[in-house]
């Protein structure tokens, strides 16, 4: 017996395919949404972790900056203490400066040179006097620059002709003004120590 299906099977099959398509499309959308949400949650977690790390670094940097400021403040205090200590040492060492300075001047002033005024300004001394000739002034400058332990860097400020006395007794002389530096005791000690190191090197060799 032959059976004939007169129902609209093609239309039913088309509806079924369309239903299956929309079902797959819905599942694909759900899966895509889940993937997007998972990826978003993952990156959100990573961003949160990185933000926590950045905040931790900022906090530690702030603490480090405070420590650096404390170190800088301590360094300034140490430098200030060293400067005050050096000032005290210089004051103690400078007490004997005039004695050594006058002793040096007595030894280094050549014949034919007469000092009439002396003034100290810090670590420079202003010398004013008379000399028999320009050569005597040059000799005095060389002595101050090369033969003095306590004085160095002499500089001729002014030199001019002058007359001593009146009438027939007047004598032509050279009026000069010189400035010269005076060393501190610590500078001399430093030079002496350097000379001792050079003259007595360590010649021991490893065996």
CA 116 to chain CA centroid, Å, is 45
**189 and 118 in a common domain:** yes
pLDDT tens across 69-108, in order? 888 888 888 888 888 877 777 666 667 777 878 888 888 8
The confidence band for 121, taking pLDDT boundaries of 50, 70 and 90, is: confident
The residue among 91, 138, 90, 93 whose CA lies nearest residue 113 is 138
Per-residue model confidence as pLDDT tens digits over 42-74: 998 999 899 999 999 999 998 898 889 888 888
73 and 146 share one domain? no
**How many beta carbons lie within 10 A of that of residue 136, not counting itself?**
21
The distance of Cα 75 from the centroid of its chain, to the nearest Å, equals 12
Confidence of residue 204 (pLDDT cuts 50, 70, 90): very low
Say which residue, 193 or 104, is predicted with more confidence.
104
* pLDDT tens-digit map of 8-17: 667 778 888 8
Q: What is the mean pLDDT of residues 26-49?
A: 91
Nearest to 118 by CA among 135, 104, 134: 104
Residues 129-182 have pLDDT tens digits of 999 999 999 999 999 888 888 888 899 999 998 887 777 777 889 999 999 988
Which of 46, 71, 95 marks a domain boundary?
A: 95
Question: Hey, CA dihedral for 17, 18, 19, 20, is it positive or negative?
Answer: positive
Q: Would you say the pTM of this structure is higher than 0.85?
A: no
| Cβ pair 110, 140 in contact under 8 A | yes
Banded pLDDT at 3 (limits 50, 70, 90): low
Q: What is the pLDDT of residue 177?
A: 94
What's the CATH number where 139 sits? 3.30.1360.100
pLDDT at 203: 43
Give yes or no for a contact between 178 and 127, defined as CB atoms under 8 angstroms apart: yes
Please count the structural domains in the chain: 2
Residues 140, 146 contacting (CB under 8 angstroms): no
Question: 62 and 133 share a domain?
Answer: no
Q: Is residue 113 part of a domain?
A: yes
Residue 201 inside a domain? The answer is no
Confidence of residue 195 (pLDDT cuts 50, 70, 90): low
At residue 206, does pLDDT exceed 80? no
Look up the domain containing 30 and give its range.
9-95
């Amino acid at each position: 017996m032959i059976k004939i299906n007169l129902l609209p099977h093609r239309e039913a099959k088309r509806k079924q395919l369309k239903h299956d398509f929309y079902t797959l499309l819905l599942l694909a959308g759900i899966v895509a949404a889940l993937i997007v949400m998972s990826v978003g949650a993952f990156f959100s977690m990573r961003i949160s972790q990185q933000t926590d790390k950045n905040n931790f670094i900022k906090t530690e940097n702030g603490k480090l900056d405070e420590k650096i400021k404390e170190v800088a403040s301590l360094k300034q205090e140490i430098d200030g203490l060293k400067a005050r200590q050096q000032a005290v040492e210089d004051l103690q060492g400078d007490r004997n400066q005039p004695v050594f300075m006058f002793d040096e001047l007595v030894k280094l002033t050549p014949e034919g040179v007469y000092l009439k005024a002396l003034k100290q300004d810090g670590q420079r001394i202003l010398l004013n006097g008379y000399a028999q000739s320009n050569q005597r002034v040059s000799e005095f400058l060389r002595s101050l620059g090369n033969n003095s332990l306590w004085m160095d860097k002499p500089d001729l400020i002014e030199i001019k002709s002058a007359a001593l006395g009146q009438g027939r007794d007047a004598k032509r002389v050279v009026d000069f003004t010189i400035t010269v530096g005076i060393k501190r005791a610590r500078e001399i000690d430093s030079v002496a120590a350097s000379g001792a190191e050079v003259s007595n090197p360590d010649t021991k060799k490893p065996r």
